[in-house]
Amino acid sequence: MRWRSYVAVGDSFTEGMDDAYPDGSYRGWADLVATRLAAEVGPDFRYANLAIRGRLFPGVVAEQVPAALAMKPDLISFAAGGNDVLRRTFDPDALVARFDDVVRRLRSGGADVVLFRFADVMARLPGQRLVAPRVQLLNRAVGETAERYGAILVDLYADDAYLNPMLWSTDRLHLSAAGHRRVAAQVLDALGVGCDEEWLLVPPRPAPTPWLAARAADLRWAGQHLAPWIRRRLTGRSSGDTVTAKRPTLDPIAD
């Protein structure tokens, strides 16, 4: 095991929404990966998670990347850009160029870097015609950048299991606990580290919903999740405005 320290960088995907600990805080795939690596290394293993929900790519780069580099970890995971593709002001050329620069910086510090091609979340969300091509562009850039700099690529987009709604939370945007376990297993597999095979298990797909019930569910979802998201966009607010990193320093994992 060559990784004795790990820093996770990103947004809500890496923070762990919506995989909750009993106290209501979020666990997520990165905590699961860190716990498994710590079991291999022992008490000297250290872990930081700088990810904050709602962060756009520039914010992740400005706030989290310098902090991660300063910690000089052996392993860094970087996942950002998912929030940007949902914005009207999305600039694909600028994001692709900055993505390349960030990965170059992370790799030049000597760390191994884990990157992600994002799963197809748009299959159950409005705006698919506009956003899906953006996701494909970002995923293509991630794959090319990973190859260029020798980063470790975890290709969630190629995994059709993520088309199962049971791997997603009720907001249809964030992973469920089962989804986070599957991501953790795929990261560990990419790192060559074994894990509990149950993490890869996918819950059975729900039975087809009658049309009227499905439309009623869509209306409830729009009121509970879409409308607040739109209000935040109109007022310039973010779900992470009052949130701080859950593990801001590189520390051992408590038993």
pLDDT in tens, the chain (255 residues): 789 999 999 999 999 998 999 988 999 999 999 999 999 999 999 999 999 999 999 999 999 999 999 999 999 999 999 899 888 888 988 999 999 999 999 999 899 999 999 998 777 777 677 888 888 999 999 999 999 999 999 999 999 999 999 999 999 889 999 999 999 999 999 999 988 889 999 999 988 888 888 889 888 988 988 888 888 877 888 887 788 999 999 999 975
Burial of 109 (0-12, 13-18, 19+ CB in 10 A): middle
Q: Which DSSP category does 174 fall into? A: S
pLDDT value for 239: 83
Structure tokens of 47? 């872990």
What pLDDT does 148 receive?
96
Distance CA 193, CA 186 (A): 10
Quick check: 193 and 40 in contact, CB under 8 A? yes
Structure tokens, 153 = 């690529």
Cis peptide before 18 (omega within 30 of 0): yes
pLDDT score recorded for residue 144 = 96
As given in the structure block, the two tokens for residue 44 are: 């000297």
How many angstroms separate the most distant Cα atoms in the chain? 55
Give the CA dihedral 227, 10, 36, 18, nearest 10 degrees: -10
Q: Considering only CA atoms, which of 252, 178, 244 is closest in space to residue 25?
A: 244
d(CA 60, CA 66): 10
Q: Strands of 5-10's sheet, edge to edge?
A: 152-155, 112-117, 75-79, 5-10, 46-49, 247-252
- The dihedral formed by the CA atoms of 20, 23, 26 and 32, expressed in degrees to the nearest 10: -80
User: Radius of gyration (Cα) for the chain, nearest Å?
Assistant: 18
* 174 contacts 29 by C-beta, under 8 angstroms: no
pLDDT score recorded for residue 222: 84
Pairing of strands 46-49, 152-155: unpaired
What is the per-residue pLDDT for 218? 84
